[in-house]
Structure 1
Amino acid sequence: MTETMTQTENSAEGSAAPKRAALLWAVVAGSVVTAVSTFLAWTWTTAFPGNLTIYGNPAPLQLLTLVGAVLTGLFGLSALGVKGLGWLTPTGARKAVWILALGTFATTLFIAISIIVELGALVDLEPGAGVAVLAAAVPAVASYLLPDDTRKAAPAKQLPSWAEILIIVAVFALGLYIVTFGIDTDDSEPQLFIAYLILVTFSATALVKSGLTRRLSAITARNRQVTVTAAIVMAIAFPFLQQSGDTYTLIAVNILIFATVALGLNIVVGLAGLLDLGYVAFLGVGAYTAALVSGATSSAFGVQFPFWAAALTGMAASLVFGVVIGAPTLRLRGDYLAIVTLGFGEIFRIAMGNLDGTSGPQITNGPNGIPNIPQLEFFGYNFGESHTVFGIELGAYANYYLLMILVMALVVVVFSRAGNSRIGRAWVAIREDETAATAMGINGFRVKLVAFALGAALAGLAGTVQAHVNTTVVPENYVFAGPVPPNSAFLLAAVILGGMGTITGPIVGSALLFLIPAKLSFLQDYQLLGFGIALILLMRFRPEGLIANKRARLEFHENDDDQQVVPEQRQSEDAGVGTAKAGA
């Protein structure tokens, strides 16, 4: 009986192998045809943005389909066992191939539908577009029919140090190009950014499912100094690669300000577990303080501090406000604390609007805010003027971008040191179980107050730069929720979306939540609807966030058979709760 069953199983596996190979060859063939179709014209008129009428020279929209087709074909060849490509799919190829094929098809179909809607008729499509859609559908269907081959990744071979360094540099360079491509998309061509967003989303998901990102995480963990250096160099290189002046550098500056504030909130929410719904008020405190002491013409004080003094004053003011608000309220927990912090945020906004000399003292100029904040100047280097560096002209916003890189680096160091310190372990213990942590001797109130004050100070630092970038400060910039970040709702969403308790998580979340609304401004009233739908989908399929730490992965995927966790950044969450309590 046993021999019969074994023979039956072997027979089934033998008959399944040719079917799997045939489906994979269909994936590869469909990908090749899709790639070739991008060199054909997709429409006959240049009225559609991007000019898809040229043969032999793919337009940016067609390049997206080309990239998706090439990736799908490569992963399909990896699944076929082609020598030299096995490293692409260490945990199995079926899910990765299907997601990539589906993403390529979705991107191509969206472009074709956009042409029809924009130009008004199906006949506006050239045969190249039809070939692209049909060819892209073949890999999507074939890969869906593939049997699941998910497996545990085999231990990766240790590469030479020089090879790992080259991989890290190449990955960061590729990431910089991808980010720059997305930011530089012309606002007059919203179809390009939407298609880019579709392809990047599916491709990133496929890389995670294939296990490739875990291998990369292991490499970066072994070369932390190289990784940090590469990240800093690529970040500094961004403004030098901009060909459109300051148009998109301003977006990058605002992303860095948003991310810096989100990292401060991450201390409060991600590490200490305190739900703060009025955190944007601390950003406002820093901005208003800097505006009042930086020589603005409408300032009530008539003083002009150098920037370093204005930044320290803004941080100190935010820290004091954090202590003043936290001292009487941090004995509350959960929803009660959230309601109190929400009230503080609204009180701050209303108070800034009433300090106009009529409803209150003349300090903030009321709803009109404080305009004409002077540009920063360091040792004769005016941040409001263009400067030529290495033969490349940098605009005003590029100057502020480089300044925010330094501020971001400072905040990352503070977050990392605090999270890995004794107080950081105490924050984690409080977050996991405040009652148990208190029973083990941790002073919960003092620990939470430190988190609240530190988070407020970091937000205040970002606010001092924001005041000079915007050259004006008004109360409407610091609301709980609104269509434009940063506000308290978007800040909290950035922390949760990116991954609570990590460093890279809030940065990625902030970049997405600022960039997407900025690029989808043409949706107008439907922006928040799309944003809400995206958050619902994310919470459904990746509740731990885009870049989650080890603890979050285990909590949300403890029953997943294929869930594997590799060492990542040594955040305080990776320490056990018992260790946290003992250390505190």
Structure 2
Amino acid sequence: MTTQTTTPEAFGDTTPARAGLIGIPENAARALATGGAILTIISTFLAWTWTADFPGDLTVYGYPGGLQVLVLIGGLLTTLFSLASYSVKGFGWLVPAGADGAIKFAALATFATAWYTVIAISVNLGGVVNLEPGGYVVAVASLATLLGALALPFEHPEPDPIDPDDTSWEHTKHKLGHQWQTVKAAFATGTARPAPALPSYAEILIIVAVLALALAVFTYGIGTEYDELFIGFLITAGLGFAALNKSGLVAQASQITARHQNITICGAFVAAALFPFTQTDDQYATLGVYILIFATVALGLNIVVGLAGLLDLGYVAFLGVGAYAAAMVSGSPSSPFDVHFPFWAAALVGCAASLVFGVLIGAPTLRLRGDYLAIVTLGFGEIFRITANNLDGTSGPDITNGSNGISSIPNLDILGFDFGAVHNILGVDIGRFANYFFLMLIITAIVVLVFRRSGDSRIGRAWVAIREDETAALAMGINGFRVKLIAFAVGASLAGLAGTVQAHVTYTVTPEQYLFAGAIPPNSAFLLAAVVLGGMGTIGGPLIGASLLFLIPNKLQFLGDYQLFAFGLALILLMRFRPEGMIPNRRRQLEFHEEAEAPTVLTKAGA
């Protein structure tokens, strides 16, 4: 008795694969990509230049350093995906959605980082004569890897339309083949049905590994010591993430974290709390606390924009209201009020002030929709800044000290813990900014809790209904004005809470800190970009988007006038190839990938 093997071809998926960009046979192309990746790995253990004038210890034989480490990572990814494409035992789990697309992106990451390094050495040192043999080897090997990857076949084209009246066996095969293509598209876009669940302990270990990897990548990126290394990091991290996404690993990790949301959120905060212990001084903890402030405000804006669908272009003003209110009652000699509230009271004052302003601005304007509402909120942001600038005792009452702002804001002292002093925790010296990092982490946890609980509540479902179709929501009995006003008030109060910490971290609050747009966040334009870039309506999306939008401009300051140009170009590319955001809400993902089959159960608003 013979057993018939069930294959895609048996179901009508008989359309031949299109050739790659280069006319090399598939087997030869796969061998070229694999061999080139292995040779690239070997080249990272050779010297790439003879002089230490180029940073990164690229003159040493025997171990990689600097940019060589990034090329090594790209080569390892390419090699692993290539082995998986050969169906080598033990590597199949790496490519649940197919290997060829992942090989292409991994090879591109390796090639781009290697050639960027070779070109940077040649330009900085005055020619290719400054390259050692390892530099030539990595250039040739990475080019061969990319050529082999580009020669691999593309995905199968979509099958021809199906005639619904045809009941023949050929029609049945064609229909099953179409369903096979749909499944492939679902895996490619991350919307496939959940994979069979592993044992709980195994999935928890996977979550721990993912969070540890995220902490390692963030720590490495924020700690890059020179400009060339950070650019290489961006190239490798961006294209490496694309390779992992193409392989289907990102989709599988998302499914696992969705099944263990509470564990994932708690683990993420534990990983973030470990960040200061990875630093030897306050240099990068400074960026860490500012990133948390920016991310927390972006998460508050996500309630207004991501859940309720209200386009707010003046949201940074609520951050300023909270910061000014807290600064005035925190004992600053520049404050018009001779009071010194404890932090919990100052935080309540900042939240309350922002909430009141949110209601005052929202009550007369939230009956507007779309572009009209955006223009009104943009005007509010500018009015706040100009008003704070004029309340200097000359143009108006002396409340905000005008353009000089409220300065000399004292450090916090909570239950005897001085946030301005260095403390030794577990044998590690934790400085001022690390202290505020931990405080801001607690506030971020509070904001995440509010976002998640409100998103899962009845009012959260009303927000989503308003966002999707306000007219239909009103017809179903939802009080649109009241629901939108609540969203505005909650979002404003969360921004004010973050502003209370910002006032103490920066020592000084001035009107120029709260612009609509500028080179350095936080400002309204960057906050909105963080929400859209990270993923509207999700928890992790704005946090990751804000981290990238704050970190990258700070690291690209060496570009000078071209800083915003390069940054804007990166945003355009990301929105072109991942318009739903880095961590998309399932509904938005389906909007941008209509070819994917809808899952049986949509995730919650905060998933």
Q: Does the alignment reach a TM-score above 0.5?
A: yes
Q: In the alignment, which residue of structure 1 is the partner of 2:61?
A: 55
Contact kept, 8 Å, 1:291 with 1:467, in 2: the verdict is: yes
Aligned to 1:141: 147
Residue of structure 2 in register with 1:490 after alignment: 526
Question: What is residue 286 of structure 1 aligned with on the other side?
Answer: 322
In structure 1, stretches of 5+ residues that fail to align are: 575-584
Map 1:369-388 onto structure 2 (within 5 A): 369-388=405-424
Q: Distance in 2 between matches of 1:36 and 1:331?
A: 64
- 1:158 offset after TM fit, Å? 3.2
Q: 1:34 touches 1:136 (CA, 8 Å); kept in 2?
A: yes
Confirm whether residue 170 of structure 1 aligns to residue 209 of structure 2.
yes
Structure 1 CA distance for aligned equivalents of residues 458 and 15 of structure 2: 60
Query: Structure 1 residue 223: deviation in Å?
Result: 2.5
Preserved contact between residue 283 and residue 459 of structure 1 (Cα < 8 Å): yes
After TM superposition, the structure 1 = structure 2 runs for residues 542-557 of structure 1, keeping only pairs within 5 Å, are 542-557=578-593
Match in the other structure for 2:402:
366
1:335, distance to aligned residue in structure 2 (A): 1.0
The AA in structure 1 aligned to 2:563 is Q
1:209 positional shift? 1.1
Give the AA of the match of 2:366.
L
Q: 1:204 aligns with which of 233, 236, 241?
A: 241
Residue 271 of structure 2 corresponds to residue 234 of structure 1 = yes
- Which secondary structure state, in structure 1, belongs to the residue aligned with residue 283 of structure 2? coil
Corresponding position: 1:275 with 2:316? no
Query: Are 2:133 and 1:97 aligned?
Result: no
How far apart, in 2, do the equivalents of 1:558 and 1:536 lie? Answer: 21
Q: Report if the CA contact (8 A) 1:256-1:405 is conserved.
A: yes
Residue pair 2:307, 2:455 contacting (<8 A) in 1 also: yes
Q: Please name the residue that 1:581 is paired with.
A: none
Q: Which residue of 1 aligns with 2:45?
A: 39
State the 1:12 CA deviation. Answer: 8.0
Contact 1:266–1:506 at 8 Å: present in 2 too? Answer: yes
2:130 aligns with: 124
Give the secondary-structure state (helix, strand or coil) at the position aligned to 1:375.
Answer: coil
Alignment of 1:402-551 (within 5 A): 402-551=438-587
Match of 1:302 among 329, 338, 343: 338
Find the counterpart in structure 2 of residue 254 from structure 1. 290
- Displacement, 1:532? 1.5
In structure 2, C-alpha distance between the alignment counterparts of 1:112 and 1:273, rounded to whole Å:
47
Q: Write the letter of the residue equivalent to 2:541.
A: G
The amino acid that maps onto 2:545 is G
Structure 2 CA distance for aligned equivalents of residues 387 and 10 of structure 1: 67
Mark the CA change 1:380 to 1:141 in structure 2 (over 3 Å): closer, same or farther: same
Q: CA 1:11 to 1:252, structure 2 compared with 1: closer, same or farther past 3 Å?
A: closer
Who is 1:88 aligned against? 94
**Paired residue type of 1:298:** S
Structure 1 position 214 matched with structure 2 position 214: no
Task: Show the counterpart of 1:311.
Answer: 347
Aligned-partner Cα distance in 2 for 1:296–1:62: 50
Offset of residue 567 of structure 1: 6.8
User: Following the alignment from structure 1 to structure 2, what is the Cα–Cα distance between the partners of residues 29 and 254?
Assistant: 44
Deviations 1:166-200 (A, max 9, x none): 221112111111110000111xx100000001000
Q: 1:567, 1:215 → 2: CA distance? A: 16
Answer whether contact 1:31 1:73 (CA < 8 A) is retained: yes
CA contact (8 A) 2:318 2:354 kept: yes
Which residue of structure 1 lines up, in the alignment, with residue 220 of structure 2? 181
Aligned length: 560
8 A contact 2:44–2:134 mirrored in 1: yes
Q: Which amino acid aligns with 1:38?
A: T
Equivalent position SS for 1:509: helix
Aligned partners of 1:311, 1:262: CA distance in 2, in Å? Answer: 18
What SS does structure 2 have at the residue aligned with 1:393? Answer: strand
TM-score norm. by structure 2 comes to: 0.89
Query: CA separation of 1:564/1:75 partners in 2, compared to 1, >3 Å: closer, same or farther?
Result: farther
TM-score normalised by structure 1 residue count? 0.93
Q: Percent identity?
A: 61
Mapped to 2, the partners of 1:277 and 1:264 lie a distance apart of: 13
Q: 1:273 to 1:34 in 2, by over 3 A?
A: same
Residues 21 and 80, structure 1, Cα contact 8 Å, conserved in 2: no
Q: Which residue in 2 is equivalent to 1:354?
A: 390
Query: Secondary structure of 1:248's partner?
Result: helix
The one-letter code of the counterpart of 1:123 is V
**Do the aligned partners of 1:92 and 1:149 also contact (CA within 8 Å) in 2?**
no
Cα separation, 2, equivalents of 1:489 and 1:559: 32
